[in-house]
Amino acid sequence: MQSYLDFEKPVADLEGKIAELKALAATDQAVSIDEEVNRLSSRADEALVEIYKRLTPWQKTQVARHPQRPHFSDYISKLITEWTPLAGDRKYREDAALQAGFGRFNGQSIAVLGQEKGNSTETRLKHNFGMASPEGYRKAVRIMEMADRFNIPLISFVDTAGAYPGIGAEERGQAEAIARSTEKCLELGVPNIAIIIGEGGSGGAIAIAVANRVLMLENSIYSVISPEAGASILFRDAAKAQDMATAQKITAQDLLGFGVIDSIIPEPAGGAHRHQETVMASARDAISTFLADFAGRGRLETREHRREKFLAIGTTI
């Protein structure tokens, strides 16, 4: 069942009428609804295109957080074959929020990292809503070291509100674990690509997103702090999150202009949650292009490319 955001109410009303007509036709075969359904469907499609043409930063934030938006597990099932997840940081425990492992992308061996938010109450609790503990980032370092040792490229799917801020996580060295993961990304001699598929929140995101190429889905966000938290700090009022989202410049379009990301993966009108297959195909094309571009580069060149890319951020604003 489709879940609608507040600003999608015109579309929800039209599609509700379509559903009522179809229910009526199911009970009375004599009723002809085709013409009216086609008319309402056209209006709904037009309304959806019009709404998504002028999304505000706050509305994009809502789309990025949509519960039906494809998550890490969806990208794995559609893009990666022979997926073999690996567990544990070899120091403390397994962290289900940050998934890691190896598989094949278009037949090529690949290492994969990503945050999984879950898509039901049970799985959201299991994956801690995609907020990783130190063990998750130490596991990421372990997989990156393996990928580097065996010369296997790395893909990161980023989707987190941020690293888990609990007391236990802080006691076990959350900040240090994030820093080590970020450092390991920079040290890699193999090419890596990061795709922000939903939320890219704070250090919890950048710990696996320091890559040779950083992409964002059109309606994803990437920021140092959530709009609500930022509004609470700066305005002393979380209700001003909409204003904060605009001021933060967190959209893919803003960050492409600043040179923080390299390109945008387009989403059809209605967002990735309505067009999963199309978005998956676009992501596949983007990853394929990246791997082809870096196929002939040496380890030192790959490492220097990444280093120079991040040193250049902010120098031309």
How does pLDDT run across 267-292, given as a tens digit for each residue?
999 999 999 999 999 999 999 999 99
Q: Determine the Cα–Cα distance for residues 77 and 94; give it in Å rounded to an integer.
A: 21
Q: Determine the Cα–Cα distance for residues 111 and 197; give it in Å rounded to an integer.
A: 17
Provide the pLDDT for residue 280. Answer: 96
Whether the pTM exceeds 0.85: the reply is yes
Provide the pLDDT for residue 21. Answer: 79
pLDDT band per the 50, 70, 90 thresholds, residue 29? low
Report domain extents, the chain. 6-54, 61-312
Q: Determine the Cα–Cα distance for residues 198 and 218; give it in Å rounded to an integer.
A: 9
Q: How far, in whole angstroms, is CA 8 from its chain's centroid?
A: 21
- Rg of the chain (C-alpha set): 21
Is the CB of residue 133 less than 8 Å from the CB of residue 174?
yes
Structure-token pair, residue 260: 């923080």
Mean pLDDT, all residues of the chain: 93
Q: How far, in whole angstroms, is CA 225 from its chain's centroid?
A: 15
Q: Which class is 61-312 in CATH?
A: alpha beta
Provide the pLDDT for residue 28. Answer: 65
How does pLDDT run across 177-193, given as a tens digit for each residue?
999 999 999 999 999 99
pLDDT band per the 50, 70, 90 thresholds, residue 30? low
Residue with tokens 């999608």: 8
Q: Is a pLDDT exceeding 70 seen at residue 31?
A: no
